[in-house]
Amino acid sequence: MSNPKPNTQLLLIVILLTTLTACTSSYSFKLFSFPPNTQPHDNDWTYLGKIVVYDKPGISSTEMAEKTLEITVTDTQGNELLTDHVIVVGGSFRYHIQWESLENLHIEVNAANSTALKPLLSLNYQLINHKFIAIQ
């Protein structure tokens, strides 16, 4: 039996390294929904929001590091009303979401890796022509 060709060996090494790197990546997410008093897991919502925090490979979800927050809102047909990305430095996060009227969505992101919650950023969105627009 002959040895595998060098290209085959290189391909196997690349696949192995990619698999090991992918296994070290982590993410966390928070779901929220509209109208008020609906629950994402009950499927009684009209609009579903999601905040996903992506960590760089090799960084744990609680480790202090630069992380990407991806914020999306979709309707029951899967149409995206909001897609936004924010880069923050922190460890664990807590969210305070205010969405009492469809037109106004407020998301406060707090650092939760200390004894007191520290506000990191405040995001405000307004619904205009069936799309959420970031406002200051």
Residues in the chain: 136
Give residues with Cβ within 8 angstroms of 7, minimum separation 6: none
Can you give the pTM of this predicted structure?
0.76
DSSP letter for each residue of 50-70:
EEEEEPPTT--TTS-EEEEEE
Side chain identity at residue 43, one-letter code: N
- Each residue's pLDDT, cut to its tens digit, for the chain (136 residues) gives 555 555 566 667 767 666 555 555 677 889 999 999 998 888 889 999 999 998 877 777 778 888 899 999 999 998 999 999 999 888 888 899 999 999 999 999 988 766 666 778 899 999 999 999 999 7
